[in-house]
Amino acid sequence: MSANTSLPVGLEAIRIKGRFGAHRYLVLRRLSQAFFLGLFLLGPWFGIWWVVGTLAGSRTFDVLPLTDPLVLLQSIASGHLPELTAFVGAFIVLAVYALIGGRVYCSWVCPINPVTDAAHWLHDRLGLQKGWQPKRSARLWVLGTVLVVSALTGTIAWELLNPVTIVHRGLVFGMGFAWVVVAAVFLFDLLVSRRGWCSHICPVGAFYGLVGTKSVLRVSAANRVACNDCMDCYAVCPENHVISPALKGKSGHTPVILSPDCTNCGRCIDVCAVDVFAFTHRFDQRVSEAATQAVDAPSEYAA
């Protein structure tokens, strides 16, 4: 068991696709995270005010307003009717994420993602127990709680604790004790609950998951016949319960990963030596019939 779990993940993919090929989406994702953070930092660092504000609300090129829809929802729940600008901004954000997958926010934009990814990397290296694993629906309950507390206290409640906006605002406006929040999330994921924050607790992710329930951009296990059961995709996926229905579906079942929990991070695509997965749209029901690359794959295990 322990020998099995400590198997290095993705070696086969690295050998076949090269180091970059096996980390392409990871690299792209880090670039994307840096890009979106960089947009906000251009102003305070270099005086280039293309994007002003924070992830909670921003203004791009003086015309495009963007608002975090969950923050706005809490504001409405707490009894404030926001001005039109905030509604327009939230609508644009909702429309985009409804199209490309709500949790794309989590894996491609959120500044906390590198923190929890780092915690998970260290967790793996230290071989720690997975610890407390609340049900994945817990985050929906947290989301509900946040809205109820907002309504009861008349404040935007989650913004008092939300590590996402606190860290982002800290980076853009001044850190204060926001490092404590980063450390808390890191330690929580490292010592208390493996992948606990993003995959079990965070109500922001839960909200964006709901937003992307019917999203168009999806990962499909179209080449699932080639799967050699190496389990690497399960090992890298932060929400690995989303894989089985698509990968292990009987013929006739859709190969598309339809669960809104999927963050479209693309790590399964990276780490698969036989290229089972690919980005596509949710209506793409194509499944390859012949195991095109299955011939190479068993060699890894035959050796």
Partner 1 sequence: MSATSQPKSPGRRRFLTETARVAGGCAVTGTLLAYVARDARALPVEALRPPGAMQESDFLSACIRCGLCVRDCPYDTLKLAELGEDGPATGTPYFTARDVPCEMCDDIPCVAACPTGALDPGLKSIDDARMGTAVLVDQENCLNFLGLRCDVCYRVCPAIDEAITLEISHNARSGKHAIFAPTVHAGHCTGCGLCEKSCVLPDAAIKVLPIRLARGSSADHYRKGWEEKERKGAPLVEGIIDLPDRMPAPVGGAPEAAGGYEPAFKLPGGGQ
Q: Which residues bind partner 1 (CB under 8 A)?
A: 43, 49, 52-54, 56-59, 65, 67-68, 71-72, 75, 78-83, 85-86, 89, 134-135, 137-138, 141-142, 144-146, 148-150, 152-161, 165-166, 169-170, 172-178, 180-181
Q: Scanning the structure block, which residue is given the tokens 């709901």?
A: 210
Which three-class secondary structure state does DSSP give residue 45? helix
Which three-class secondary structure state does DSSP give residue 278? strand
Q: What is the closest distance, in whole angstroms, from the C-beta atom of residue 226 to partner 1 in the complex? A: 37
Q: What is the closest distance, in whole angstroms, from the C-beta atom of residue 148 to partner 1 in the complex? A: 6
Distances (CA, A) of 241 to 73, 212, 287: 29, 17, 20
Six token digits for residue 220: 């499909």
**Cross-strand partners of 59:** 52, 65
List, in order, residues 6 or more apart from 121 with CB less than 8 Å away: none
Which three-class secondary structure state does DSSP give residue 51? strand
Q: What is the closest distance, in whole angstroms, from the C-beta atom of residue 56 to partner 1 in the complex? A: 5
Task: Report how far residue 52's alpha carbon sits from residue 59's, in angstroms, rounded to the nearest whole number.
Answer: 5
List, in order, residues 6 or more apart from 9 with CB less than 8 Å away: 232, 235, 236, 271
Q: What is the closest distance, in whole angstroms, from the C-beta atom of residue 161 to partner 1 in the complex? A: 7
Six token digits for residue 241: 């319960």
Closer to partner 1 at the Cβ: 134 or 249? 134
Q: What is the closest distance, in whole angstroms, from the C-beta atom of residue 177 to partner 1 in the complex? A: 3
Select from 122, 126, 67 the least CA-distant residue to 91: 67
Q: What is the closest distance, in whole angstroms, from the C-beta atom of residue 35 to partner 1 in the complex? A: 20
Closer to partner 1 at the Cβ: 192 or 295? 192
Q: What is the closest distance, in whole angstroms, from the C-beta atom of residue 136 to partner 1 in the complex? A: 11
Six token digits for residue 37: 């953070």
Closer to partner 1 at the Cβ: 78 or 288? 78
DSSP class of residue 292?
Answer: S
Closer to partner 1 at the Cβ: 155 or 254? 155
